[in-house]
Every structure is written in structure tokens, then in C-alpha cells.
């Protein structure tokens, strides 16, 4: 009985074939493309979440402001200023006296949306850049808030107290 291992040719190299390497590269490329798409969606969802959270903050701030000020609502200019951020950009938040009075701050130095809020009495006329701002408001004392960037708009108002978004 011969228990000796078969001898191998010392000149023979051990390694991967070109086919094995190509298959491995293809699998890695497929997994990377899936990850990139998933990461992009994750980032966009985080940006939308920022907008909805800010709208919720404005909702509570407007309610408190009206309680203190006899039912009137605040109208705060857009911040950050024009131009609005692009869909993948952030811009520096610029606090003005109105936002300070409302007590609204994003909690970070840069935001993904440009925010504005308006309040009034009578008919609500939305500006051209915020066509859905008055959605559901039939008159009387009203307010709306809007956040927008180059792709998304996020709204909340006195008639629809749940933030909603609109894709452009």
C-alpha cells in the first residue's frame, strides 16, 4: 500500500482562472450597484424626513404663537434665501427674527429645504412657487408652511395638520 501523496509539478502554479475572476468581479459589481441605489434612496428619505419634522415643529410653533397672540399666525420669510437648495444639496440655515419668535430652528447649521410660513385672514392665495400651500383651506384665519428644494415640496397648513409631500 502506498500512502505517499502524489507529487505535483513544482512548475505548476496554483491560482484563479480568468473566468473565476470575471465572475467574482461581476458579482461584486451587481452588489455594489444595488447598494448604491439603496443608499441614494436612504439619503432622499432622510431629506424628506427632515422636511416633515420641520413642518411638525412649525405646526406646534404656529399653534403656540396663535394662543399667545390672540389667534394671529406668524409669517416668516424664506430661509435659507434664494435660490432654494437642489435635491442633493444643503444650505446654511439663516435665522431671522420671525423664526426666533416662533422658536423654530432645524437643530443643524445646514438644511435640505428652504422653509417659509405665512398666516392670514380671509381667502388663502398661494404663491406661484407653492401651489399646494392653501390645500383644504376654505377661508377664515389660516396659516401654511412650506419647505422646498429642487425636487420635493413639503407642506403643512391649518386645514391639513399632517405634513405631506409633493414630488415635482
pTM: 0.78
Rounded to the nearest 10°, the torsion over CA 59, 64, 69, 75 is: -30
pLDDT tens string, the chain, 168 residues long: the values are 566 666 666 666 678 899 999 999 999 999 998 888 888 888 888 888 999 999 999 999 999 999 999 999 999 999 999 999 998 899 999 888 999 999 999 888 899 999 999 999 999 999 999 999 999 999 899 999 999 999 999 999 999 889 998 887
The answer to whether 79 and 94 are in contact (CB under 8 A) is yes
The answer to whether 59 and 157 are in contact (CB under 8 A) is no
DSSP letter string, 51-105:
HHHHHHHHHHHHHHHHHHTTT----EEEES-SSPPPTT--EE----HHHHHHT--
Amino acid at each position: 500500500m502506498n500512502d505517499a501523496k502524489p507529487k505535483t509539478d513544482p512548475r505548476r502554479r496554483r491560482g484563479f482562472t480568468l473566468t473565476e475572476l470575471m465572475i467574482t468581479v461581476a458579482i461584486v459589481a451587481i452588489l455594489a450597484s444595488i447598494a448604491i441605489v439603496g443608499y441614494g434612496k436612504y439619503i432622499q428619505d432622510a431629506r424628506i424626513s427632515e422636511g416633515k419634522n420641520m413642518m411638525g415643529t412649525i405646526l406646534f410653533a404656529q399653534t403656540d404663537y396663535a394662543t399667545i397672540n390672540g389667534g394671529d399666525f406668524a409669517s416668516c420669510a424664506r430661509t435659507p434665501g434664494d435660490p432654494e437648495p437642489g435635491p442633493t444639496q444643503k444650505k446654511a440655515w439663516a435665522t431671522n427674527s420671525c423664526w426666533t419668535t416662533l422658536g423654530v430652528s432645524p437643530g443643524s447649521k445646514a438644511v435640505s429645504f428652504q422653509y417659509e410660513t405665512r398666516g392670514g385672514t380671509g381667502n388663502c392665495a398661494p404663491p406661484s412657487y407653492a401651489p399646494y400651500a392653501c390645500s383644504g383651506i376654505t377661508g377664515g384665519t389660516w396659516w401654511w408652511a412650506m419647505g422646498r428644494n429642487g425636487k420635493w415640496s413639503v407642506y403643512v397648513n391649518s386645514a391639513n395638520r399632517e405634513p405631506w409631500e409633493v414630488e415635482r
